[in-house]
A = this chain, B = another copy of it.
Amino acid sequence: MVHNVGMAGPPKQRRSEATRERLVTAAIETFGADGFTRTSTRTVVERAGANLVSIHYHFGGKEQLYCAAAEHIAKHIHDRSAAVLERGRALSRDRSASRDALIEGVCAIYDEFTGIFLAGGLPEGWRQFLVREQMEPSGTTAFRSLFGVIRPFFECVSTLIGRLQKRRPSDQRVQLTTAFIFGHVYVFRTNPHGALRMLGWTTFGPREIAAIRTTAREHIGRMLGAVPPPASVARGRRSAERR
């Protein structure tokens, strides 16, 4: 049996479409809060105000609903961030861009990323869904959807950093630097309770996000501000640090 994956036909049956949408958003929130296995389809349909079997009718089962939820989030992020990423790409192609402008480009993408992962750029439940799936994929198809929408952030930043460090974007040091910058966001997601407690905060509200962005901006500037010294000098510095 083929499931009703497309949109409903022209007649009054776009009530079907509405149910479908309610199911998806309810699914995101419930899966996000409780994870795939701890979520029962009963909870989802209850929250969506739909019938128990509607999930099977519309999607074919619990797992397909999960994948539909992932795609929904991916599309949302894509739409939201397309402009920022496009600006970043344009900047990285701009031969006349100054160091400060390139660094600012990195910061802009960092800010967008914090918006998605920490601030209100995504509803809390959606964010939980995203983080959970990144950390331990429940299924490869859902992971692919979300990875496909996060990847451009990495690629854009690594291109900018490549120009700043005068290295190819595929250079391992460039890639690692990129990862570290995103780590400035992820750290608050991997250990949210611990981080809040360390910082004496209770939530990641606007004030807290602002503090994170300001300090991160400072660090990104430091990390990328100067042309890296030749390898020989770096080695000397490092061994000096060791003693």
Copies in the complex: 2
Query: In the complex, what residue of chain B is closest to A175 when comparing beta carbons?
Result: B199
State how many angstroms separate the Cβ of A202 from the closest Cβ of chain B.
14
A176 to B118, CA, bound (A): 15
Q: How many residues of A contact B (CB 8 A)?
A: 64
Asked whether any CB of chain B lies closer than 8 Å to the CB of A218, the reply is yes
Instruction: Find A134's partner among B35, B191, B237 (CB 8 Å cutoff).
Output: B191
Asked whether any CB of chain B lies closer than 8 Å to the CB of A198, the reply is yes
Among A177, A180, A197, max chain B CB count under 10 A is at: A180
- Judging by beta carbons under 8 Å apart, are B197 and A187 in contact? no
- 7 A–B contacts from the bound complex (CB under 8 Å): A134-B190, A137-B193, A179-B187, A186-B190, A189-B190, A217-B241, A222-B223
Beyond A104-B242, A175-B198, A186-B191, 14 additional pairs, beta carbon < 8 A: A150-B191, A150-B194, A151-B194, A154-B194, A158-B198, A172-B211, A176-B212, A179-B187, A179-B195, A186-B186, A186-B187, A189-B190, A221-B237, A221-B238
